[in-house]
Chain A
């Protein structure tokens, strides 16, 4: 499969800054994949997205999106991507539909028409289709001053999909949304990812949102500190373990030692073992147990481990 996004040695140094905001990162994303760029505040995530979407100049490096060089063919790149910005970028003086219409005309899909009724049938159909899926069909002709944060986000997603982009950039799309809106949004994003075969480029602080990503890149201070599938990142870093305990601690300790099982005692007995082997180990123990708790590491733990580890090496 050919990569749809390719970034090589991207560097960005802001004017008057002493260090690089993005410091030589390279990665590639394959077509139709779900890619997530993670990192603490100020790591360089938004800077990277801004450069990839041509709204910010780079310092050095090469980038290609959908086969187009970002520096040489910015117009083609812009046409190939959709973006949900960190800060909502809607015109609050217009209605939802007017915002969408403005977008489609700017992207050269239709000729300028001053009213919705004069727009082609195809346009109307797609507006209704998308707004129905997102559940804002009734509000499409209302001024968006009255919209909630979740509705604005949904409107931006509809808008960004109107020109059928190949890559959808989402820069912290669920920031400030309540859990229900977040869940709705993700259900929708997952479904359009499948139906539109779109490549997704996500930055987020909610790590459970990145759990389903095909590939994750963690950056810190402008550098990549870890990358791979979420499973690989978590299993490389965090051990899977099981905690067991018994009312007869003495007997359990003796038995584990006899069986040459390595354990750590902190309240219970912490034993490093893969989840699939837990049952085998439990069966081999004769001492009656009062506690069996398996621990499967989450991406969040791995992330914290990576970010904090770097904290100490930097210090």
Chain B
């Protein structure tokens, strides 16, 4: 019970911070608009007829997953910022499990990511993306899983970093290629073997494909768009989540205490 309260309060702090950070809110809404509105719409106008499905919808579903995954992962990196502001001392001397700290942080950043995704949905409605109630309701638990996964991925990266500067330099390098390897904007059903390999070791691939798997479930485009069964994706994500979380937390705590 105590640990649960700790997780909730750490998560709440994160979400409060987001709500009070106006520039961050604005920026977090702008990116999906660019990705879907500009990139998605232009690809749609030029390529959709060739491939036989709407690129706008394709990009929309990809950006949903990517926003959740990336936002949570990069949010976790703010644990480093806390360390540099000396706030982490306060959390680290408190009598709670180190896993609660990390889980609270992941949960908080998941909430932040969901808030951003609301914007993506609104934009989707405006440009006429077909969205049924079932699709939206299925998205809630699936989206949460993507967030938790992104968070665990973030802690894994964080466990290997020592300061904000290296985080800022390294993070885009790790995230950016995954945009393309995981097929957020571009189809990856046909890839040369080396890209295929890279695509399958990019964690974001499974998140994007799972979200699409559930979104396109029962539609004629399913077989053209979705690569792997959503349940296979779910299993891979579950296993990677546990590995990332345990190894990442262990390394992060070790870095904090062993200097």
Contacts and interface: CB of A to CB of B under 8 A. Distances in A.
Contacts of A97: none
Interface string B48-89: 000000000000000000000000000000000000011111
Contact of A102 (B13, B21, B92): B13
The SS class assigned to the B binding surface is helix
B163 interface: no
B20 A55 contact: no
Interface in B1-45: 1-2, 4-6, 8-10, 12-13, 16-17, 20-21
A57 B90 CA distance: 17
Contacts of B90: 85, 89-91, 103
A91 B20 CA distance: 13
A91 B9 CA distance: 13
Contact of A92 (B8, B9, B85, B92): B85
B86 A106 contact: no
B91 A90 contact: no
Among the interface residues B12, B20, B21, which one has the most CB atoms of the partner chain A within 10 A? B12
A93 B91 CA distance: 15
Nearest to B100: A106
Interface string A99-126: 0011101111011101000000000000
B96 interface: yes
Interface string A9-27: 0000011000000000000
Interface in B86-122: 86-96
B166 interface: no
B11 to A, nearest CB: 9
A5 B258 CA distance: 23
B257 to A, nearest CB: 5
A93 B8 contact: no
Contacts, number: 86
B221 interface: no
Interface in B228-259: 256-259
A89 B87 contact: yes
A62 B257 CA distance: 17
B93 A54 contact: yes
A53 B9 CA distance: 22
6 contacts: A75-B95, A83-B89, A83-B93, A102-B10, A103-B90, A112-B12
A78 interface: yes
Q: How large is the interface on A (under 10, 10 to 19, 20 to 34, 35 or more residues)?
A: 20 to 34
B258 A15 contact: yes
A91 B89 contact: no
Nearest to A15: B259
Contacts of B91: 106
Nearest to B92: A55
Contact of B258 (A53, A57, A85, A101): A57
B10 to A, nearest CB: 8
Q: Which 3 A-B pairs have the closest CB atoms?
A: A106-B94, A108-B2, A78-B95
A39 B5 CA distance: 40
Given A55-B256, A89-B85, 11 more contacts: A56-B259, A57-B259, A75-B96, A78-B95, A89-B89, A94-B16, A102-B9, A102-B13, A111-B1, A111-B5, A112-B8
A288 interface: no
A196 interface: no
Interface of A: 14-15, 53-57, 75-76, 78-79, 81, 83, 85, 87-94, 98, 101-103, 105-108, 110-112, 114
B95 A98 contact: no
A55 B257 contact: yes
B5 A14 contact: no
Contacts of A88: 86
Contacts of A105: 5-6, 8-9
Contacts of B21: 93
Given A14-B259, A76-B95, A106 B87 contact: no
A42 B93 CA distance: 22
Nearest to A105: B9
A4 to B, nearest CB: 17
B94 A107 contact: yes
Contact of A90 (B9, B87, B93, B256): B87
A108 B93 contact: no
A201 B91 CA distance: 21
B86 A89 contact: yes
B87 A91 contact: yes
A94 B258 CA distance: 30
